[in-house]
Amino acid sequence: DQQVKQNSPSLSVQEGRISILNCDYTNSMFDYFLWYKKYPAEGPTFLISISSIKDKNEDGRFTVFLNKSAKHLSLHIVPSQPGDSAVYFCAAMITGTYKYIFGTGTRLKVLA
Amino acid sequence: DAGVIQSPRHEVTEMGQEVTLRCKPISGHDYLFWYRQTMMRGLELLIYFNNNVPIDDSGMPEDRFSAKMPNASFSTLKIQPSEPRDSAVYFCASSFGTGIIGYTFGSGTRLTVV
């Protein structure tokens, strides 16, 4: 059973607009969440994280929102740039287990 | 630091053959993870080690898969015998401590079993 779900396999956005990537999880014990970005032929790289004690975390153009009651998190990229075109994975962890459960990924394409 | 190093980058093998994937974690990292990426399931955790000791292998698909970490700088993932459904990209990742700042992933090994 997929505990972390990214229901949109792909997303296309115009350059300069906002990209919103969504992620849902089923295990209410998850208390730490990450987003990773992956370019072709490379490993995933860490992008941004959020703890369950927060509902928002910002880092430059990237903001992650967490809605614990809905078991939902989203990644906002504003403004989107062509270099943001990649596959984005969300991941969740129960602190102390040391292992992240990843979603299936969303392929973002930013159109110039 | 050269990062997490995986070899080979690509592997094509015939069904029934043994396949060994290799990983060198970042020096000083005490956790090592093996993940498999497929279109259907995304990144699946297969097994992870702490200080060279396997902690959780619940993600290993079946007995055909085995992983070892003989020392802090080397790990292997072996598939014997390999099957076409094992075709995927296999990633190794390492981290220091709790992983709160995430893992560092290698570039992966693309395995094709024909």
Taking only the tens place, the pLDDT of each residue in B78-101 is: 999 999 999 999 999 999 886 777
Q: Tell me the shortest Cα–Cα distance from A17 to chain B, in angstroms.
A: 27
B107 CA: distance to closest CA in chain A (Å)? 4
Residue with the two structure tokens 């390999």: B82
Using an 8 Å CB-CB cutoff, list chain B residues near A104.
Answer: 39-42
B46 has a pLDDT exceeding 80: yes
Residue A38 CB neighbours (<10 A): 21
* CB of A107 closer than 8 Å to CB of A89: no
For residue B101, the model assigns a pLDDT of 75
Whether A46 sits inside 8 A of B106 (CB atoms) is no
Angstroms from A53 CA to nearest CA on chain B:
14
Q: Write the residue in A45, A93, A105 that is nearest to B42 by C-beta.
A: A105
- State the smallest CA–CA distance between residue B89 and chain A in angstroms: 10
Query: Cβ contact (<8 Å) for B45 and A102?
Result: yes
Omega of the bond leading into B84 within 30 degrees of 0 (cis)? no
Concatenated DSSP letters for B35-74?
EEEETTTEEEEEEEEETTEEEE-TT--STTEEEEEEETTE
Of A6, A32, A43, the CB nearest to B100: A32
Joined tokens for residue A86: 């990649």
Predicted confidence band of residue B47 (pLDDT cuts 50, 70, 90): very high
Structure-token match 């099957």, residue found: B83
Residues with Cβ within 8 Å of A58's Cβ and at least 6 positions away in sequence, in order, are none
Distance in angstroms (rounded) separating the CA atoms of residues B39 and A62: 25
Most A CBs within 10 A among B43, B47, B48, B50, hence the mutation to make, goes to: B43
The answer to whether residue B39 scores a pLDDT higher than 90 is no
A–B CB contacts, 8 A cutoff, strictly below: 66
Q: Render pLDDT for B21-32 as a digit per residue (tens, 0 to 9).
A: 999 999 999 999
